[in-house]
Amino acid sequence: MIQLYHADMSTCAQKVRLVLEHKELAWNSHLLNLRQRDQHEPQYLKLNPNGVVPTLIDGGNVIIESTVICEYLDDAYPEKSLVPDAPENKALMRQWTKWLDEFLHFHTGVLSGSIAFRFQHLARPKDELEAYLSGIPDLRRRKRQRQQIELGLEAPQFRESILAFEIFLEKLEKQLKKTEWMAGDTYSLADIGYTPYVTRLYELKLENWLSNRPEIEAWFEKIKKQTNYTNAYLNWKNQAYCDLMAEKGLEAWPRIERILIENPDN
Ligand SMILES: N[C@@H](CCC(=O)N[C@@H](CS)C(=O)NCC(=O)O)C(=O)O
């Protein structure tokens, strides 16, 4: 049976669970606690040297990188395909998922970390925090984590990440004016990829950001109605994380609004 190493609130793990549940595949859960540093355990690093979730094992094959895992699942289990037939829509889907990996995922990490998750890290003893930081294999990620934990909304990349999210929302609204789903007229890996990232805005109670974006709101209503959203997201929701995100996100909104208003492109 398929084995998935994942975490309840990880956006990348949510993507993979959305695919597994859409395809109604049976899978075994190996739930990691990222705050307890399960992802840095030597046994896990043998599977995923980057020290991140998710990791999928299927028939002895170890697959890492959430976008690659999603594509793998669609190739290996083609029923209820999530890849559009038309080559141009397939290309559009891949442009979206590539942009997610190269751009938006990083900025979402800054947003969630600087606004909310830093408080989980600050609550632990200093030596535990240092052990966590020095266990992060990727040095760029390690530096970013330290800055967002120590500086929060004052972290140098916070403003840039807000503006990056604004670019994303503009781009998505524009796309959804043209097509029913993100990569054409069918639900695809692009919609699945971005579902956790739009969900994150609601978790952080930043939905005001969407108030002039009716296409995204309508798209998200359709997303929430799919059974995989219940099975892959709602059923795995960590209430303590959501409470923290809601509280800290509401506090951060005036600051975010100011950044958006001051944005020279506005
Ligand atoms: N490019 C990787 C990124 C994975 C990633 O960033 N995972 C995060 C959770 S969304 C993680 O495991 N973080 C570990 C940590 O916080 O130490 C993928 O798409 O699988």
DSSP class per residue in 120-177? HHHTS-HHHHHHHHHT-S-HHHHHHHHHHHHHGGGSTTHHHHHHHHHHHHHHHHHHHH
> 66 CB under 6 A from ligand 1?
yes
- CATH code at position 48: 3.40.30.10
For atom 5 of ligand 1, the residue with the nearest CA is 52
Whether 39 lines ligand 1, by a CB cut-off of 6 Å, is yes
Q: Which of 33, 55, 76 is the last residue of a domain?
A: 76
Tens digit of each residue's pLDDT (9 = 90 or more) over 174-220: 999 999 999 999 999 999 999 999 999 999 999 999 999 999 999 99
d(CA 223, CA 263): 30
Do 101 and 194 belong to one domain?
yes
* SS3 label, residue 86: coil
Over the stretch 212-231, which tens digit does the pLDDT of each residue have? 999 999 999 999 999 999 99
Provide the pLDDT confidence category of residue 127 given band limits of 50, 70 and 90.
Answer: very high
Instruction: From 46, 76, 106, give the residue that closes a domain.
Output: 76
Report the percent of the chain where pLDDT is more than 90: 97
Same domain, 180 and 67: no
Q: Which of 76, 111, 132 is at the close of a domain?
A: 76
Cα of 63 from ligand 1 centre, angstroms: 14
**Which domain does 170 fall in, by range?**
87-262
- What pLDDT band is residue 103 in, cutting at 50, 70 and 90? very high
Task: Tell me the mean pLDDT in the region 99-116.
Answer: 97
Per the structure, how many domains does the chain have? 2
Q: Above 90 in pLDDT, residue 169? A: yes
199 with 221, same domain?
Answer: yes
Pocket of ligand 1, candidates 10, 39, 52: which has the most ligand atoms within 8 Å of its Cβ, to mutate?
52
Which residue is closest in CA terms to ligand 1's atom 13? 52
183 and 256, same domain (yes or no): yes
Cβ of residue 199 lying under 6 Å from some atom of ligand 1: no
In total, the chain counts a number of residues equal to 266
Q: Do 102 and 67 lie in a common domain?
A: no
* Cβ of residue 52 lying under 6 Å from some atom of ligand 1: yes
Are 50 and 178 contained in the same domain?
no
Atom from ligand 1 closest to the CA of residue 37: 17
**Residue with CA at minimum distance from ligand 1 atom 12:** 52
Distance 160 CA to ligand 1 centre (A): 20
User: What local confidence, expressed as pLDDT, does residue 157 receive?
Assistant: 93
Same domain, 103 and 229: yes
Q: What is the pLDDT of residue 264?
A: 66
How far apart CA 84 and CA 222 sit, in angstroms, is 18
Please tell me whether residue 48 adopts helix, strand or coil conformation. coil
Question: Which of 20, 1, 7, 10 has its CA nearest to residue 228?
Answer: 20
Is residue 82 domain-resident? no
Q: Are residues 125 and 251 in the same domain?
A: yes
List CB contacts of 95: < 8 A, sequence separation 6 or more: none
Nearest-atom index, ligand 1, CA of 132: 17
